[in-house]
A = this chain, B = another copy of it.
Amino acid sequence: MAIRYELIHTCKQTGARYGILHTPHGSFETPIFMPVGTKATVKTLENAEIKEASDGLILGNTYHLWLQPGDEIVKMHGGIRGFSQWDGALLTDSGGFQVFSLSNLRKISEEGVQFRHHKSGEKLFMSPEDSIRIQENLGADIIMSFDECPPFHADKDYMKQSVDRTIRWAQRGKDAHTRKDQALFGIVQGGPDKDMRKYCLEELMKIGFDGYSIGGLSVGESKEEMYEMLEYLQDVMPQDKPRYLMGVGAPEDLVVGSKYGIDMFDCVLPTRLARHGAVLSHTGRFNITKKEFEKDMSPIDSECDCKVCKTYTKSYMRHLFKADESLGQRLLSYHNLYYLKTLMNDIRESIKNDTLGDFLEEFEKKYF
C-alpha cells in the first residue's frame, strides 16, 4: 500500500482527528493543509520557500499539466517531483473539477467528457482511464478518481445519474490504476443530499480506496450548507482512511472542517488572495493596499514569526503592491501559506489537548 493513515487521537471535545499520514515521500501530521502548485509551481515561490511555508505535502493539477507542458514531458523528468525539483510529497486531482468548471461545451457520456480548452478552444476528451494514466505520468503519491462535479443544487434525478456515473468511473479508474507506489482516493459527490452522499460513499467503499475525498463542496453553497454536510459525513466516513475535503482553505473552514474530522485540505485561496494584496493574519483578513498602511512601520502580522513578518513593514509591503512589484505577491504568498501552516499546527495541538472546541470559539472571536 502506498500510504498508511494512523489515527493517533480523537479530540474529546469535538471528535476531530489527529493522525499521521505516511506517504512514500514523508509522513505528515494531520489535519494538514496542502498548498496548490497548479502548473508544477506554487505560484511565485521556490521549493525551499514552499518547504518553509507548508508541511511538505503539496498539490498539482492534472488538467493544467496535461495541457501544458503535457504529461509525457513531465514523465520524462520522472514526474512533477523531478520536473519542478520538489522533494516533498505530492497529490494530484483528477482533472474532473477543472473540466467541469473551466472548459467550454462539455458533453458528458458514459465513456468520459468531451470539451473545449478553456483558452484555445481546442477539442479535447478525458475518460476516467485517461485521468489515471495522466496521473500515473505525473507521478504523485496520492491521486484522485475522475469524477463528475455537478452543480450543488442539481435536481434529484440528475444528481442520482451523476453520482452513479461517478461511482462507475471510480471503478474504471481503479481497474486502470497500475502504480503500486501511488494511493488512489475515491471522491464522494451528491450535493446537499445526505442520503445521496452516504450512498456514494458506501458504493466507493465497496470498490475500496486508500482514502476518501469530499468533492462538490465550497462550490458556491452557503457555509451553513457546507458545515451541515461535513457534520453529517463525520460519522459516516470510515475511521481508518484519510478524509480529504477538496478545494477548501479559508482559515475558518480549516478550523470547522477539522472539527468535523477532516484530515486533509487544499485550496488556492492563500496564494490567490496574496496576489491581490489580501493578508491572512492572526487578527483577521485585510488588504495591505489600504491608505492607512502607508506609514505603518509594524509587520503585516505581529503574531507571525515568518521571514516576511520578521523583516518588512506594512509600509514596504503596501509600497510593493502600489508599485506593481511582483515581490509583493511573492512575499505575501509566503506569509499567507505560513499563516495557514501555523494555524494547522495550532489546530493539531488543540485536538491533542481535547480543546478544539475552545480553540474554534477563540479563533472566531479574534479573526472576525
- Chain A residues in the interface with B (C-beta under 8 A): 39-41, 43-46, 64, 68-69, 73, 76-77, 83-85, 294-295, 297, 311-313, 315-316, 318-320, 322-323, 325-327, 329-331
Are A83 and B316 in contact (CB-based, < 8 A)?
A: yes
In the assembled complex, the Cα of A195 lies from the Cα of B164 at a distance in Å of 87
Which residues of chain B are within 8 angstroms of A318 by Cβ–Cβ distance?
Answer: 69
Nearest-Cβ distance from residue A321 to partner chain B, whole angstroms:
11
Q: Say yes or no: A43-B316 contact (C-beta < 8 A), given A69-B294, A73-B294, A294-B69.
A: no
Nearest residue in B to A318 (C-beta to C-beta)?
Answer: B69
Nearest residue in B to A320 (C-beta to C-beta)?
Answer: B41
Are A44 and B326 in contact (CB-based, < 8 A)?
A: yes
Are A43 and B327 in contact (CB-based, < 8 A)?
A: yes
Are B69 and A297 in contact (CB-based, < 8 A)?
A: no
In the assembled complex, the Cα of A319 lies from the Cα of B65 at a distance in Å of 10
Are B323 and A85 in contact (CB-based, < 8 A)?
A: no
In the assembled complex, the Cα of A319 lies from the Cα of B60 at a distance in Å of 14
Which residues of chain B are within 8 angstroms of A297 by Cβ–Cβ distance?
Answer: 76-77
From B68, B312, B319, B331, contact of A69 by CB (8 A):
B319
How many copies altogether?
2
In the assembled complex, the Cα of A300 lies from the Cα of B322 at a distance in Å of 33
Q: Say yes or no: A319-B39 contact (C-beta < 8 A), given A85-B312, A326-B329.
A: yes
Are B44 and A330 in contact (CB-based, < 8 A)?
A: yes
Nearest residue in B to A313 (C-beta to C-beta)?
Answer: B77
Closest 6 CB pairs of A and B: A69-B319, A39-B323, A41-B327, A41-B325, A68-B323, A85-B311
Which residues of chain B are within 8 angstroms of A329 by Cβ–Cβ distance?
Answer: 326
In the assembled complex, the Cα of A62 lies from the Cα of B297 at a distance in Å of 22
In the assembled complex, the Cα of A73 lies from the Cα of B317 at a distance in Å of 12
Are B323 and A77 in contact (CB-based, < 8 A)?
A: no
Which residues of chain B are within 8 angstroms of A316 by Cβ–Cβ distance?
Answer: 40, 77, 83-85
Which residues of chain B are within 8 angstroms of A69 by Cβ–Cβ distance?
Answer: 294, 315, 318-319, 322-323
Nearest-Cβ distance from residue A360 to partner chain B, whole angstroms:
35
In the assembled complex, the Cα of A275 lies from the Cα of B44 at a distance in Å of 13
Q: Say yes or no: A295-B326 contact (C-beta < 8 A), given A68-B319, A85-B311, A319-B39.
A: no
> Which of A83, A85, A311, A327 has most chain B Cβ within 10 Å?
A327
In the assembled complex, the Cα of A327 lies from the Cα of B275 at a distance in Å of 13
In the assembled complex, the Cα of A323 lies from the Cα of B67 at a distance in Å of 10
Which residues of chain B are within 8 angstroms of A320 by Cβ–Cβ distance?
Answer: 39, 41
Nearest residue in B to A325 (C-beta to C-beta)?
Answer: B41
Nearest-Cβ distance from residue A12 to partner chain B, whole angstroms:
44
Instruction: Name 6 extra pairs, CB < 8 A, besides A46-B331, A83-B319.
Output: A46-B330, A68-B323, A69-B319, A73-B294, A83-B315, A85-B312
Nearest residue in B to A84 (C-beta to C-beta)?
Answer: B316
In the assembled complex, the Cα of A76 lies from the Cα of B331 at a distance in Å of 21
In the assembled complex, the Cα of A316 lies from the Cα of B68 at a distance in Å of 11
In the assembled complex, the Cα of A61 lies from the Cα of B198 at a distance in Å of 62
Nearest residue in B to A334 (C-beta to C-beta)?
Answer: B46
Q: Can you name 14 A-B residue pairings with CB atoms under 8 Å?
A: A39-B320, A39-B325, A41-B320, A41-B323, A43-B327, A45-B327, A46-B330, A46-B331, A68-B322, A69-B323, A73-B294, A76-B297, A76-B315, A84-B316
